[in-house]
Structure 1
Amino acid sequence: MTPDELADLAHLRRARDMIDRDYALPLDVPTIAAKALMSPAHFSRKFKEAYGETPYSYLMTRRIERAAALLRSGMSVTDACMSVGATSLGSFSSRFTEIMGETPSSYGARKHTAIEAMPPCFAKGTTRPARVSRT
C-alpha cells in the first residue's frame, strides 16, 4: 500500500468516526467529505471502496442502529426518529423497515428480553443492523 493510500484510509477513518459520533446532526456528503479532505465524488467512491457502502448509506445505518436502541428502551417512533437526526418520519420508517426487516412500531412493541440479558458488548454486535435483501 502506498503512502497516499494509507493517508486516504486515515482520512476516511476520520470521516467515518465523525459519522459515528455526530449521526444525529444534519450531515451530508459534502460536509463529511470535507472532513476527509476530499471532493464529495472522490470521497464517495473511496468510502464505498473501503467500507462496502456509500457514506449516506453508512450514516443511515448508524441512525437506524441508534433508533433501534431507543425503541427497545420504550421511546416512541416519532421521538426516536427525531433523536437520531432523521427529518422525515416516512423516510425513516421506510429505511428502518428496509434495514431491520420490520417496521419501527413492531420492533419497538415486541419484547427484547434476550438482548437485555446480554452484556452490552454482545448486544451491540447482535443488534447491529444488516440490510434485509428483497427477493
Structure 2
Amino acid sequence: MTPEDLAELAHLRRARDLIDRAYAQPLDVPTMAAKALMSPAHFSRRFRATYGETPYGYLMTRRIERAMALLRGGSTVTDACIAVGATSLGSFSTAFTAITGETPSAYRAREHRAVDAMPGCVAKTTTKPAHRPVSPSRASSRIREAGGTGAA
C-alpha cells in the first residue's frame, strides 16, 4: 500500500467512525464525505470498494443493529424507530425487513433468551444484521411492478 492509499483509508475510517458514533443523527452522504475530505461521489465509490457496502447501507445496518438490541430489550417498534434516527416508521420497517428478513414486530415478539445468555461481544457478532440478497426472480417482479421491463 502506498502512503496515499493509507491516508485515504484513514479518511474513510474517520467517516465510518462518524457513522458508528452518530448513527441516530441525521447523516447524509455529503456530511460523511466531508469527514473523509472527499467529494460525495468519490467517497461513495471508495467507501463501497473498501467496506463492501454503500455509506447509506452501512448507516442503515448500524441503525437496524441498534434497533434489534432495543427490541430485544423490550422497546416498542415506534420507540426503537425514533431512537435510531429513522424519519418514518414505514421506511424503518421496510429497511428492517429488507436487512433482517423479518418485520420489527415479529423480531420483537420472538424469544431472545439465547442472546441474553451470551457475553456482549459474542451477542453483538451473532446478532449482527446482514443484508438479505434479492433473488433475480424477485428483483424482476419488483421492476415489472414499478413499470420497468425487468431486463438490464
TM-score over 0.5 for the alignment? yes
Map 1:113-124 → 2, pairs under 5 A: 113-124=113-124
2:16 paired with 1:20: no
1:54-95 alpha-carbon deviations (Å, 9 max, x no partner): 000000000000000000000000110010000011111011
**What is the distance in 1 between the residues matched to 2:134 and 2:49?**
23
CA distance in 2 between partners of 1:115 and 1:81 (Å): 21
SS, match of residue 122 in structure 1? helix
Cα RMSD (Å)? 0.6
> Moved runs in structure 1, 4+ residues, more than 6 A?
none
Give the TM-score taking structure 2 as reference length.
0.87
Gaps of at least 5 residues in structure 1 are none
CA distance in 2, matches of 1:32, 1:133: 26
The aligned counterpart of 1:56 is 56
Structure 2: runs of 5+ lacking an equivalent: 136-152
Q: Percent identity?
A: 73
Encode CA deviations 1:15-66: one digit per residue, 9 max, x unaligned: 0011000000000000010000000000000000000000000000000000
Q: How many residues align?
A: 135
Cα separation, 2, equivalents of 1:132 and 1:38: 30
Asked which structure has the greater CA Rg, the reply is: 2
CA distance in 2, matches of 1:39, 1:134: 30
